[in-house]
């Protein structure tokens, strides 16, 4: 569909590109039995549209729930430089097969994403290859700190990401003065991996001596996470910067963060909500190894409590693939990270089925939440004029997660053999059906860069 005249004619004639009918649609009013008309990427009409609208194509959603498209605000797609683990095509293909319609991609690639050129390289690589909408983080480091307030405004940029503790790759900013410089140069919400590098280095001997992956949460202990989180929140308060703490993994951080919600938003991963120590390490070995680590049940219970109490804003997958050969290296040489973008929604729907959260809260965590805290334009709700990003799920469908379903180049999931209830059936990105009946459409990949609301600093609040 092109041209404003044609668009006006179509609207007048009530002729949509796509009509989704018969489903239970999650609008801001709650679940409604209505139809959705999609025209030129957007939602053009909502309601009982039978008899009043026609369309080039229809999708029967009878028996399905129609959710706002799922946004995964933490994925590592490894391109450029590490494409033996993952790439933008396979990563986004996994996303849409798992019901995800937009992603934020992380900067610890080779080269790191530190400059406008690095960002452009990623946007170019995604053009005509990405199956879903996307934005890329710029890494915050000593080398680009003074340019971040400009870099963060570039089209297609998700904002700035800081690694306070080394995880995978060379991106690290743990020095107090450097962190302060980074936080002072910019206005958008800054995403942080909070583990204390000094403490991690001091304690590494624990795991080097044992070679036992069960020691992973002992090496990277609660204090490593809590100390870094407390430090970055203090610097954020001092510099007036909004913050997003990624993959929070401890009860202690949740208790602390509950007192800082005006400025600080909070993310948890499905892995930390689903797996727990020591069982996950005994069953999966280094496949369960990620940073920050999966911890014991006390922490998992606290993460669920934090979801119920509204302390958590988003669920992000931290999709961080490594090959099975790399993961088979003896611990601690085995790299940390696991796939997740494709299993995020199935796992969370299974938690809905088990009664751990409501479908409404899931929509808040996976669509409305990321849109609200990161200021994504036109996403996150099924409403007139918003982008027609729709994730259609069958809450009763039972499926077993299998490695051979995983689109990632790395080809594995820690949930291989796990049966879940609740499954994405169709995925619609801006009115285009990219997955139909669980199968990728033949249509070309149409992912576009995400757009963000501009952040206007308060006059005189601080120099940049
Ligand atoms: O386990 C992890 N792996 N955590 C991170 O934060 C980074 C990631 C990676 O890139 O492999």
User: What 3 state SS string does 7-66 have?
Assistant: HHHHHHHCEEEEEEECCEEEECCEEEECEEEEECCEEEEEECCCCCCEEEEEEECCCCEE
pLDDT attached to residue 462 = 65
Rounded to the nearest angstrom, the distance between the alpha carbon of 338 and the centre of ligand 1 is 8
Active site includes 318? yes
Q: In whole numbers, what is the pLDDT of the chain averaged over residues?
A: 96
Report the atom number in ligand 1 closest to the C-alpha of 108: 10
* Mutation choice for ligand 1 from 335, 409, 414, CB with most ligand atoms inside 8 A: 335
Q: Is the CB of 410 under 6 A from ligand 1?
A: no
Query: With 90 as the cut, is the pLDDT of residue 108 above it?
Result: yes
Q: What CA–CA distance (Å, rounded) separates 373 from 365?
A: 11
Q: Is the CB of 107 under 6 A from ligand 1?
A: no
Q: Is the CB of 220 under 6 A from ligand 1?
A: no
Upper half-sphere CA count for residue 305 (Cβ side, 13 Å): 14
Q: What CA–CA distance (Å, rounded) separates 450 from 376?
A: 7
pLDDT attached to residue 454 = 86
Q: How confident is residue 165, by pLDDT bands cut at 50, 70 and 90?
A: confident
Q: Is the CB of 161 under 6 A from ligand 1?
A: no
Q: What CA–CA distance (Å, rounded) separates 268 from 310?
A: 12
Query: With 90 as the cut, is the pLDDT of residue 38 above it?
Result: yes
CATH 3.20.20.140 correct for 69-374: yes
**Residue 226 corresponds to which tokens in the numbers above?**
């809590």
Query: With 60 as the cut, is the pLDDT of residue 463 above it?
Result: no
Q: Rounded to whole angstroms, what are the CA distances from 428 to 392, 443, 444?
A: 8, 12, 13
Q: Rounded to whole angstroms, what are the CA distances from 117 to 59, 137, 157, 279, 302?
A: 41, 13, 12, 44, 41
Report the atom number in ligand 1 closest to the C-alpha of 321: 11
Sequence ranges of the domains in the chain: 69-374
Query: What is the tens place of the pLDDT at every residue in 210-228?
Result: 999 999 999 999 999 999 9
Q: How confident is residue 2, by pLDDT bands cut at 50, 70 and 90?
A: low
pLDDT attached to residue 459 = 67
């Amino acid at each position: 569909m092109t041209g404003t005249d044609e668009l006006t004619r179509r609207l007048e004639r009530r002729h949509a590109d796509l009509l989704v009918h018969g489903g239970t649609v999650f609008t801001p009013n709650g679940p409604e039995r209505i139809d959705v008309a999609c025209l030129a990427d957007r939602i053009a009409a909502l309601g009982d549209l039978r008899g009043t609208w026609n369309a080039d194509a229809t999708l029967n959603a009878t028996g399905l729930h129609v959710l706002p498209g799922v946004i995964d605000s933490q994925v590592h797609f490894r391109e450029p430089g590490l494409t033996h683990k993952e790439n933008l095509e396979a990563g986004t293909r996994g996303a849409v097969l798992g019901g995800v319609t937009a992603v934020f991609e992380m900067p610890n690639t080779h080269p790191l994403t530190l400059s406008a050129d690095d960002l452009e390289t990623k946007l170019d690589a995604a053009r005509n290859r990405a199956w879903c909408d996307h934005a890329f983080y710029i890494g915050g480091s000593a080398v680009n700190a003074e340019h971040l307030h400009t870099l963060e405004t570039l089209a297609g940029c998700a904002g700035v990401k800081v690694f306070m503790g080394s995880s995978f790759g060379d991106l690290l900013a743990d020095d107090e003065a450097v962190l302060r410089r980074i936080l002072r140069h910019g206005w958008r919400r800054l995403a942080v991996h909070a583990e204390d590098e000094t403490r991690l280095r001091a304690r590494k001997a624990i795991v080097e001596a044992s070679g036992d992956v069960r020691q992973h949460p002992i090496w990277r202990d609660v204090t490593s996470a809590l100390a870094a989180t407390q430090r970055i929140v203090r610097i954020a308060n001092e510099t007036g910067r909004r913050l997003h703490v990624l993959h929070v993994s401890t009860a202690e951080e949740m208790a602390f963060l509950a007192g800082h919600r005006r400025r600080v938003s909070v993310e948890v991963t499905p892995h930390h909500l689903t797996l727990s120590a020591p069982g996950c390490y005994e069953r999966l070995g280094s496949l369960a190894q990620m940073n920050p680590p999966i911890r014991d049940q006390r922490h998992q219970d606290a993460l669920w409590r934090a979801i119920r109490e509204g302390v958590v804003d988003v669920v992000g997958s931290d999709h961080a693939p490594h090959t099975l050969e790399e993961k088979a290296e003896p611990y601690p040489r085995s790299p940390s990270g696991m796939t997740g973008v494709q299993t995020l929604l199935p796992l969370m729907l299974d938690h809905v089925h088990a009664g751990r959260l409501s479908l409404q809260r899931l929509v808040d965590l996976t669509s409305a939440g990321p849109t609200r805290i990161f200021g994504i334009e036109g996403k996150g709700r099924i409403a007139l004029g918003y982008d027609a990003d729709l994730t259609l799920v069958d809450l009763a469908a039972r499926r077993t997660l299998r490695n051979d379903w995983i689109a990632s180049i790395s080809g594995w999931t820690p949930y291989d053999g796990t049966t879940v209830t609740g499954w994405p059936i169709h995925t619609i990105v801006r009115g285009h059906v990219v997955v139909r009946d669980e199968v990728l459409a033949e249509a070309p990949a149409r992912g576009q860069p995400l757009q963000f609301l501009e952040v206007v600093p308060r006059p005189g609040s601080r120099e940049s």
